[in-house]
Amino acid sequence: MSTAGQVIRCKAAVAWESGKPLSIEEVEVAPPQKNEVRIKILFTSLCHTDVYFWDAKGQNPLFPRILGHEAGGIVESVGEGVTDLKPGDHVLPIFTGECKECAHCLSEESNMCDLLRINTDRGEMIHDGKSRFSINGKPIYHFLGTSTFSEYTVVHVGQVAKINPEAPLDKVCVLSCGMSTGFGATVNVAKPKKGQSVAIFGLGAVGLAAAEGARVSGASRIIGVDLNPSRFEQAKKFGVTEFVNPKAHDKPVQEVIVEMTGGGVDRSVECTGSIQAMISAFECVHDGWGVAVLVGVPNKDDAFKTHPVNLLNERTLKGTFFGNYKPRTDIPAVVEKYMNQELELDKFITHSVPFSEINKAFELMLAGEGLRCVIRMDA
Ligand code: NAD
Ligand code: ZN
C-alpha cells in the first residue's frame, strides 16, 4: 500500500538536548512539499559534524533535533514539481545542495549553491519554514536539510544525488560527506600529476580519503603528517608511504618536509582544522608549482599568516568545500568509481551498529576509535 501523501510514523533518534544520548522515539514525518522528496533511509553513518552540533559548543544550540547527514536510502514519494526523482530511486542525501539555477550552480568552477549551500542554523524546510518532523504535534528540528537519523526523512530535491541502484548503500553512504570531501580535495583541487609527491596533514577520515585520492592519482610519495602517532599504522592501508610527526622535530614541520623532498612536495592537502597545520601545509609545497589545499574548518578567530614572498615564489593556496563536487551532477560518478573498483571505500568502514545502538557510534567517535561507523536502520 502506498504511503505517498500520508503522514508516516516511524522511528527516529532525537537529540533533546546538547551532549545527552539520543533517544529513539516514534515521530510523524509529513509528506514532501514542493521540490521535496521523502526518503526511506537504509544506512547512515556518523561524522564529526553530527557530534559537533550534538555537543553544541560554539554554535547556536537548536533542540530537539534529528541529526545525521551521511546516508543512503530509497525515495518513498516526491512532492510537487519534482521531475528528476521517483519512488524507488536509490539516493544519497547531501548536506549541501545544487539548485541548478543560481550563478554558482551555472558556473563550472563552484559548488557553493546560493539557495542550498550548507546552513547549520536552519532547522526547517526552505519551502514554508516548517519542520516535517513532529512528536504529538510538537515540531522537531531538521539538521543540514538531511536529518538521516530517522527511518524516513524529507529533503529538498537539490540535496539528493540519484545513484546507481546496484551500488551497496551500506558502503556508498559514506560518500555523502567525509569521503567525497577528502577525495575531491585531492583529485579535483590539488590535482597531483602521476608520479608527484603529496603531503596530507591530518590522518582522520577526511585526510585518509585525501590520501586515497593521491593513491588513485598515481602519486609517488604520500607523506602523512599527524600529531597522533597512533594514526600512522592505519594510514599505511591507505597508501601513505612516509610519516612525519611535527612533535618529533625541533624545527617547523614544513622545513622537515622541504628537506625530505629536496625543495618541497608538489601538492599538499590540509585536513586538520588547525591553523598551524594550514600554514605548514602551504609553506611545505615546492616553489614554482606547488599547490596547497585547505579542507579543515578553522576556529572562529584564526588568521592565516605567511610571508607574501611564499606566494610570489609561485606557490598556490586554495581552499575547498565538499571536495568541489556538485552533489547532484558529480556524486553519481563518484559512486561509479567505487563500482569500477577505482576508489576503495570498505576500508573506511571500521564499525557497524544497529539503529537501536546509535549512541555507541557516538561513543566510538568520542573515543577516537575507527573511521566510520555505519548505522543499520532496519536492525
Ligand atoms: P579528525 O579529527 O578525525 O582528524 C583530524 C586529524 O588531524 C587528527 O588525527 C589530529 O591528530 C590531526 N591534527 C590536528 N592538529 C594537527 C596539526 N597541527 N598537525 C598535524 N595533524 C594534526 O577529523 P576529520 O573528520 O578527518 O576532519 C578533518 C577536518 O576536515 C575537520 O576540520 C573537519 O571539520 C573538516 N571538514 C571539512 C569539510 C569541507 O568541506 N571543507 C567537510 C568535512 C570535514
Ligand atoms: Zn544553486
Q: What DSSP letter does each residue of 45-91 carry, written as one string?
A: E--HHHHHHHHT-SS----SB----EEEEEEEEE-TT--S--TT-EE
**Residue nearest (by alpha carbon) to ligand 1 atom 6:** 202
| Ligand 1 touching residue 271 (CB < 6 A) | yes
Identify the pLDDT of residue 244.
Answer: 98
| Ligand 1 touching residue 113 (CB < 6 A) | no
Whole-angstrom Cα Rg for the chain = 21
Nearest-5° Cα angle at 193, 189 to 199: 65
Residue 210 C-alpha cell reads as: 585525501
Residues with CB under 5 A from ligand 2 (ion): 99, 102, 105, 113
* Catalytic residue check, 90: no
Rounded CA-CA distance 352/361 in Å is 8
Q: Which of 65, 69, 156, 286 is catalytic?
A: 69
Alpha helices in the chain (DSSP H): 48-55, 103-106, 169-172, 178-184, 205-216, 230-235, 253-260, 275-283, 309-312, 327-339, 358-366
Rounded CA-CA distance 216/239 in Å is 10
Identify the pLDDT of residue 1.
Answer: 67
Sole residue written with cell 548503500: 169
Question: By the 8 A CB rule, do 147 and 153 touch?
Answer: yes
* Catalytic residue check, 376: no
Amino acid at 118: I
Rounded CA-CA distance 262/285 in Å is 11
Q: Which of 44, 49, 181, 261 is catalytic?
A: 49
Rounded CA-CA distance 223/205 in Å is 16
| Ligand 1 touching residue 372 (CB < 6 A) | no
Amino acid at 302: D
Residue 344 exposure: Cα atoms within 13 Å on the Cβ side:
14
Give whole-number Cα distances, 287 to 27, 294, 298, in Å: 57, 18, 25
* Catalytic residue check, 10: no
Identify the pLDDT of residue 300.
Answer: 83
Rounded CA-CA distance 273/226 in Å is 12
Rounded CA-CA distance 63/17 in Å is 6
Residue 158 C-alpha cell reads as: 537539490
* Catalytic residue check, 351: no
- 297 CA: nearest ligand 1 atom: 32
* Catalytic residue check, 241: no
Rounded CA-CA distance 34/12 in Å is 23
Where is 139: in which H helix or E strand?
Answer: strand 138-140
Q: Which of 44, 65, 113, 284 is catalytic?
A: 113
**Cα 73 to ligand 2 centroid, rounded to whole Å:** 23
Cis-peptide, bond into residue 64, ω within 30° of zero: yes
Rounded CA-CA distance 186/179 in Å is 11
Identify the pLDDT of residue 56.
Answer: 80
pLDDT tens track, the chain, 379 positions: 689 999 999 999 999 999 999 999 999 999 999 999 999 999 999 999 999 999 887 677 899 999 999 999 999 999 999 999 999 999 999 999 999 999 999 999 999 999 999 999 999 999 999 999 999 999 999 999 999 999 999 999 999 999 999 999 999 999 999 999 999 999 999 999 999 999 999 999 999 999 999 999 999 999 999 999 989 999 998 999 999 999 999 999 999 999 999 999 999 999 999 999 999 999 999 999 999 999 999 988 999 999 999 999 999 999 999 999 999 999 999 999 999 999 999 999 999 999 999 999 999 999 989 999 999 998 7
Identify the pLDDT of residue 57.
Answer: 77
Rounded CA-CA distance 42/206 in Å is 23
Identify the pLDDT of residue 260.
Answer: 97
Rounded CA-CA distance 71/357 in Å is 17
The dihedral through the CA atoms of 206, 211, 215, 218 has a sign that is: positive
* Catalytic residue check, 69: yes
| 3-state SS, one letter per residue, for 164-210 | CCCCCHHHHHHHHCHHHHHHHHHHHHHCCCCCCEEEEECCCHHHHHH
Strand 291-294's sheet: what is its strand order? 242-244, 221-225, 197-201, 267-270, 291-294, 316-319
Identify the pLDDT of residue 58.
Answer: 66
Identify the pLDDT of residue 199.
Answer: 98
Amino acid at 229: P
Count other Cβ atoms within 10 Å, centred on residue 158.
23
Question: By the 8 A CB rule, do 93 and 155 touch?
Answer: yes
